[in-house]
Amino acid sequence: MRLVDEALERAAAEGVRAAASALEKHRDEAQRGRALAELALFALESSIEEGAEIGLRAAELAPGEPRLLTLIARLQAAGGVTAPARIGRLAGEAQPLSPPQRQWLAGLARDAGRLAGDASALAERKGEAKPIAHLALIAPEGWRAHPRIRAAELAARAAGLSVGFETPRDTAGWGAHIFPDSLDFAEQALAACRDTDALLLDLANRPRELDAGSDSEVTRVARMRLGAMIAAADTVIARGPAANALAEAHGAMPECIDDVWPDADPPDDEDIATARLEFGLGEQPTVLAAADLSDENGLHRLLRVFGEFGGEKTSPGLAFLGSGPAAPQLALLAAEYGLEDRVTFVGSPAFERWPALFGCCAAAIFPGQQSDSFGSAVPLAMLLAARLGIPALQSDAAWESRTSDSLIRSPLGEDWKSAIIQTLEVTETPERRASSDRLEGLYQRLRAG
């Protein structure tokens, strides 16, 4: 540790390059590599390029240094691909890694190959669309009860198709409808469905990697991967304006189909009473806040606003629907504002329980300050609020992420407290209900060929 401390002290006083040069005089390569790895992490605070350069030297000298994995993750989070992939190749050969770690480094290596022009690492499919009699709905684990999947199942059966949830074996005339929650899942599903007679790619919102910075390597690779997936599909389905713009930007002419929530009838009093106990909600009017609980995302401001309501019995309660790494910090902040008895975190309950949960709430709010990505359930919460006639407020980012154009907007605006008060006075929001007829019609065309 002494060499590490000396290197960091020199870096603070004379600069990172001077500290790295001084380390070259040290004879023990393992100690020198460890110090360079720490120096690379220090350098990242001011220069990604310097951090990557020093990190690669550290990996050459001491590939077994565990801190290299931290460096790789930090470089990738900063939008890098090539440098962390090179460091990962050296570290992967020298360190005892878990299967997820090896999968992560292998993905980095593939992405680096894509940047270098390796088209074989991109999704592709041969053949032309043919008539089908069977449709495989390919979705992430746990999505069987997802409203989008349920609506697709009902539409496919109504169109006269048999339906399954796995790629069939020894079955002629089958199609695949892929519902990705990530680029990785989409690529894996496309690889498993290369022999299908009709391939549908369902896009709802944007891959998170596209927000890593317009010029970053991560974003460049994401564009390449998404473009190859769209080119491989016979039909691209776009859920809402964000997905439609994304598909068109990659040269597709998507089928614009709104999300629907089938079988979402208003809960009765008994179901609501059970849900209040299940989710820990009080009798006061409750506002349901739906957002991905990652980073700040407008949630700190929302808690401040609810703190301004005071502690009267008539003050509204707040229930967070969603999960993410920011949940513990939000709970601490709620306590600071004296909201322990009025703020509840319900997590991500099963979709079957959403109508009862929403039935406990007087209003819904969508405060997110960043676009929702693949797999986010937030747009579905917006849809269900409209389906049950619950007044709702949406930030600009949340509204852009909607997956149905049948919704009626109530802007959150700048004065959040006044907007919430006015919304709580509304008894019901009119609904323009979306239909699954367009999806059924699309399936009928695929059946006919």
Which domains does the chain show, CATH number per domain? Answer: 2-121 (1.25.40), 134-256 (3.40.50), 269-424 (3.40.50.2000)
- Is the pLDDT at 25 greater than 80? The verdict is no
- Give residue 434's pLDDT: 66
Confidence of residue 416 (pLDDT cuts 50, 70, 90): very high
How are the residues of the chain apportioned to helix, strand and coil, as percentages rounded to the nearest 5?
50, 10, 40
- Give residue 126's pLDDT: 58
pLDDT, mean of residues 396-414: 88
Q: What is the C-alpha separation between 364 and 389, in angstroms, rounded?
A: 10
Handedness of CA 176, 177, 180, 186 (dihedral sign): positive
pLDDT, mean of residues 388-409: 89
- SS3 state at 448: helix
289-313 per-position pLDDT tens digit? 999 998 777 899 999 999 988 766 6
**Model pTM score:** 0.86
Confidence of residue 345 (pLDDT cuts 50, 70, 90): very high
- Is the pLDDT at 435 greater than 80? The verdict is no
218 residue type, one letter: V
Confidence of residue 248 (pLDDT cuts 50, 70, 90): very high
Provide, rounded to the nearest whole percent, the portion of the chain with pLDDT above 90.
58
29-38 per-position pLDDT tens digit? 778 888 888 8
Confidence of residue 117 (pLDDT cuts 50, 70, 90): confident
Q: What is the C-alpha separation between 212 and 79, in angstroms, rounded?
A: 6
- Give residue 4's pLDDT: 75
- Structure tokens given for 429: 């929001």
Residues in the chain: 449
- Structure tokens given for 184: 């990785």
Continuous segment of H or E residues that includes residue 176: strand 174-178
- Give residue 313's pLDDT: 60
Angle value at C-alpha 119, between 118 and 122, nearest 5 degrees: 115
What is the separation of C-alpha 149 from the centre of its chain, rounded to a whole number of angstroms? 18
Query: Of 165, 415, 86, whose CA–CA distance to 71 is shortest?
Result: 86
- Give residue 428's pLDDT: 65
DSSP assignment of 327-393 equals HHHHHHHHHHTT-TTTEEEEE---GGGHHHHHHT-SEEEE--SS--BTT-SHHHHHHHHHHTT--EE
Confidence of residue 354 (pLDDT cuts 50, 70, 90): very high
pLDDT, mean of residues 424-434: 69
274 residue type, one letter: T
Question: Which of 30-34, 181-185, 390-394, 437-441 is predicted least confidently?
Answer: 30-34
- Give residue 312's pLDDT: 66
Provide, rounded to the nearest whole percent, the portion of the chain with pLDDT above 70.
95
Is 366:392 a contact under the CB 8 Å cutoff? yes
Q: Please report, for residues 126, 203, 363, the alpha-carbon distance to residue 386 in angstroms, rounded to integers and kept in the order given.
A: 41, 22, 11
Q: What is the C-alpha separation between 63 and 67, in angstroms, rounded?
A: 10
Q: Find all residues with CB under 8 Å of 31, minimum gap 6, and list them.
A: 3
pLDDT, mean of residues 195-216: 88
pLDDT, mean of residues 322-334: 91
- Structure tokens given for 173: 């005339």
Which residue reads 């707040």 in tokens? 318
Q: Would you tell me how many other CB atoms lie within 10 Å of the CB of residue 419?
A: 18
- Is the pLDDT at 147 greater than 80? The verdict is yes
Q: How high does pLDDT run on average in the chain?
A: 88
340 residue type, one letter: E
- Give residue 449's pLDDT: 77
- Is the pLDDT at 21 greater than 90? The verdict is no
- Is the pLDDT at 155 greater than 80? The verdict is yes
pLDDT, mean of residues 118-147: 83
- Give residue 301's pLDDT: 93
Confidence of residue 161 (pLDDT cuts 50, 70, 90): very high
Confidence of residue 88 (pLDDT cuts 50, 70, 90): very high
Q: Please report, for residues 163, 171, 191, the alpha-carbon distance to residue 167 in angstroms, rounded to integers and kept in the order given.
A: 11, 9, 11
Q: Would you tell me how many other CB atoms lie within 10 Å of the CB of residue 370?
A: 18
Confidence of residue 22 (pLDDT cuts 50, 70, 90): confident
